[in-house]
Amino acid sequence: MHEWALAESILVSVQQIAEQEHLQSVSEITIRVGALQQIEPSILQFALKQMSEGLLKGVKFRILKAKSTLKCRVCGATWQYSSKKLGKADAEAIHFVPEAAHTYIKCPKCGSPDFEIASGRGVWLEDIKGVK
């Protein structure tokens, strides 16, 4: 369950940003998660709430998904990543090691495993609402 480790990193980052911005309180944090990360939003939400303390206690967390777009380096085709097209074991492997995607995903046009992740990989803080 890397959602817990991810939640810890998010909270540390938010705390640092809040201190840099001299925020007295934080009311809402928006987090965007790339589909390729295959993060379970309910587990991440639970972990964030359980680990929040101090300035971040009681904060509302919004977790949004970002579609992952892949682009074939061989034929130039682009497509949206979907874990639904994979078997459970393959999707689980990508969940824990997104870099393994090239082993399990092929270009739908030419079948090549040589593609780049054009968008939708990673986790980022999209917005932090607070009061100075």
Mean pLDDT of the chain: 90
- In this predicted structure, the answer to whether residue 97 has a pLDDT above a threshold of 70 is yes
What are the backbone dihedrals phi and psi of residue 63, each rounded to the nearest 5 degrees, phi first?
A: -115, 115
Cα 130 to Cα 17, 55, 58, 59, 106, distances in angstroms: 11, 10, 12, 10, 43
pTM of the model: 0.79
pLDDT band of 123, cuts 50, 70, 90: very high
Answer CATH for 2-131 from 3.30.420.10, 3.30.2320.80, 3.20.20.70, 3.40.50.10320: 3.30.2320.80
Per-residue pLDDT of 55-92, as tens digits, reads 899 999 999 999 989 999 999 999 998 777 788 888 77
99 in Cβ contact with 59 (< 8 Å)? no
Q: What is the pLDDT of residue 128?
A: 97
Count of C-beta atoms within a 10 Å radius of residue 13: 14
Cα–Cα distance between 59 and 23 in angstroms, integer?
A: 13
The answer to whether residue 35 scores a pLDDT higher than 90 is no
| The token pair that represents 6 in the structure block | 């991810």
Question: In this structure, how many other beta carbons lie within 10 angstroms of the beta carbon of residue 42?
Answer: 10
CA 4 – CA 126 distance, rounded (Å): 19
CB neighbourhood size of 94 (10 A): 21
Look at the block and give the residue holding tokens 């977790």. 63
Q: Do the bridges between strand 115-119 and strand 60-66 make them parallel or antiparallel, or are there none, so unpaired?
A: unpaired
